[in-house]
Structure 1
Amino acid sequence: MSTEIDAPPNLSALYLKAAATGPLRRGRELPETEYVRRDIAVDHDHLAEYDRVCGFGLRDVLPATYPHVLSFGLSVRLMTDPGFPFPLVGLVHVANSITVHRPLLVTDVLTQRVRVADLRPHPKGRQLDVITETSVEGEVVWRETSTYLRRGKPDESAPRAERAAEVEPGSATAVWRVPADQGRRYAEVSGDKNPIHLRALTAKAFGFPRAIAHGMWTKARALAALEGRLPDAYTVDVDFVKPLLLPSTVEFTAHRDAGTFAVHSRSGKPHLVGRLH
């Protein structure tokens, strides 16, 4: 069932709804709702701020990760609807795949569709996909699958997912110093104000010693480091392996021939691993 949305959802209201209804959610199935928003024009000032926060240059072509931000409100609305089975707070973003069929331009007028699918077992609970399609004049030009984990009773029968890539630490392409306020800066431009990303105090309430960077900021920052070397059409898969605590100094490594890249801690533990194909 498709439902048309005329304007971006009010994220502040949705977060309050999530807090109030989260403890009551005990469902076993995903809703069949699809939210659709049409006639989306790119706000040039917002895009410029997103580019600055994520490290992209100012260009007429949208970063591959930017439509994720545009559709984020639809995703949150869907995951706070009465039929969604899990609390929004506590879902863990474990993987993300984006396919760019052709470059999106700042002048394009977009239509976005968001739905959830494929509730399935995971060794640490259950997982599901949030699927987003972005179209221009009826043509799907961008597609994203974000995989979320709901931690729960271990299911040893669940297949263990293969990572997007395996990239050994060492021979870093770049070293990034990620400041303590990176989560707050990305939250302002993305709308993703999950408390685990904002401050150490709020992150500790959810079991983290400090605030952690958004996975989608880390993916965007990696693609910004590859800017100018990406084809017009490609798929980029990443796994979010280990939280990136703020502040941190991390190493970015890219292997052009293999199409693989990763973000590691200075001790060699992976935060993100990815593959371009």
Structure 2
Amino acid sequence: MSVASVHELTATPSLAPLFGKAALAGLRKRGTGELPSTVYSQRGVRVDYARLAGYNRVCGFGVRDALPATYPHILAFPLQVKLMTADDFPFPLVGSVHLANRTTQTRQLRADEPLDIRVHAEHARPHAKGTQFDVVSQVFVADTLVWTDVSTYLRKGGGSGEQEAREQLAPPAARAMWRVPADVGRQYARVSGDHNPIHLHALTARAFGFPRAIAHGMWTKARCLAAFEGRLPEAYTVDVRFKAPVLLPAKAAFTSWRQPEGWAFELWAAGKPKPHLSGTITSS
């Protein structure tokens, strides 16, 4: 195993030029090769309270001093993009599909804490439709690891893995019906920095093969997690798999049920038992 090369960043990477670089890289990267051992690190990251309040509003969380478990993903996102647009990263960012996301916090993070963030990629492996790999983000407070996020991506093409079995976790009995507005992609982009055109407008989404704009996967995860607010321990893992995109505007059905180790939940299109997302919450 190669020794990791740590790149210490003194400021948060600017996303606009990185997205431009990602668009150009998509024309030349072939999606083959080993993942780099590079680690991107940024120390002393501070939470912007206005941005946090906007995030909580868009995703359905209440106003509080503790960070939602999904919020540090927003802080790590610029480092993730920096990593995935680097010249030595084999897979183009444009066209990579977010398959799953697992977040673990060992305790609640406070909005006033300075956070040290580290991001790296690992575990490239076969998938039925191509190659999947993990982007791992970690948050430390005073040198103690308190939060870990694993985003699994798929780069389509030349698949050789076995097809995953499709199973539905629960019968289609909704506990809540959510109206998802047409502009939720733009709302989430403003608070997250993720201005992927597939989420912003129908016209830009059609250029990438979608009939309408689609909701961010991490918005759907956050919105589902917000439904459990006040019922979760300080330390837990929330693990989701993204199934089918939420075409905007939408009416989505949310259901959840108890399991011995915690909770399970799904979000699916209203009137259709095919889930957009399925997930579990377990105590850490």
TM-score range, shorter chain: over 0.9
User: Any stretches of 5+ residues in structure 2 without a counterpart?
Assistant: none
Mapped to 2, the partners of 1:205 and 1:44 lie a distance apart of 35
One-letter amino acid matched to 1:8: T
* TM superposition shift of 1:21: 2.1
* TM superposition shift of 1:82: 0.2
TM-score by length of 1: 0.96
How many residue pairs get matched? 274
1:246 to 2:255 alignment: no
User: CA separation of 1:125/1:210 partners in 2, compared to 1, >3 Å: closer, same or farther?
Assistant: same
Mapped to 2, the partners of 1:189 and 1:12 lie a distance apart of 15
User: Any stretches of 5+ residues in structure 1 without a counterpart?
Assistant: none
1:82-93 matches, cutoff 5 A: 82-93=87-98
Deviations 1:97-129 (A, max 9, x none): 000101101111100000000111100000100
Counterpart for residue 188 of structure 1 = 190
Q: Is the 8 A contact 1:169 1:253 kept in 2?
A: no
* TM superposition shift of 1:269: 1.2
User: CA separation of 1:189/1:57 partners in 2, compared to 1, >3 Å: closer, same or farther?
Assistant: same
Cα RMSD between the aligned structures? 1.3
User: CA separation of 1:241/1:3 partners in 2, compared to 1, >3 Å: closer, same or farther?
Assistant: same
User: CA separation of 1:112/1:161 partners in 2, compared to 1, >3 Å: closer, same or farther?
Assistant: farther
User: CA separation of 1:162/1:38 partners in 2, compared to 1, >3 Å: closer, same or farther?
Assistant: farther
1:88-127 matches, cutoff 5 A: 88-127=93-132
| One of 125, 136, 139 as aligned partner of 1:134 | 139
* TM superposition shift of 1:160: 4.2
User: CA separation of 1:67/1:162 partners in 2, compared to 1, >3 Å: closer, same or farther?
Assistant: farther
Does the residue aligned with 2:255 lie in a helix, a strand or coil? strand
23-32 or 42-51: bigger deviation: 23-32
1:146-165 matches, cutoff 5 A: 146-155=151-160, 158-161=161-164
Does the residue aligned with 2:151 lie in a helix, a strand or coil? strand
Counterpart for residue 225 of structure 1 = 227
TM-score by length of 2: 0.94
One-letter amino acid matched to 2:266: A
Counterpart for residue 213 of structure 2 = 211
* TM superposition shift of 1:168: 2.3
After superposing on structure 2, the runs of 4+ consecutive aligned residues of structure 1 that deviate more than 6 Å are none
Deviations 1:56-90 (A, max 9, x none): 00111100000000000000010000001121110
Mapped to 2, the partners of 1:35 and 1:137 lie a distance apart of 18
Mapped to 1, the partners of 2:194 and 2:106 lie a distance apart of 26
| One of 173, 176, 185 as aligned partner of 1:174 | 176
Q: Percent identity?
A: 54
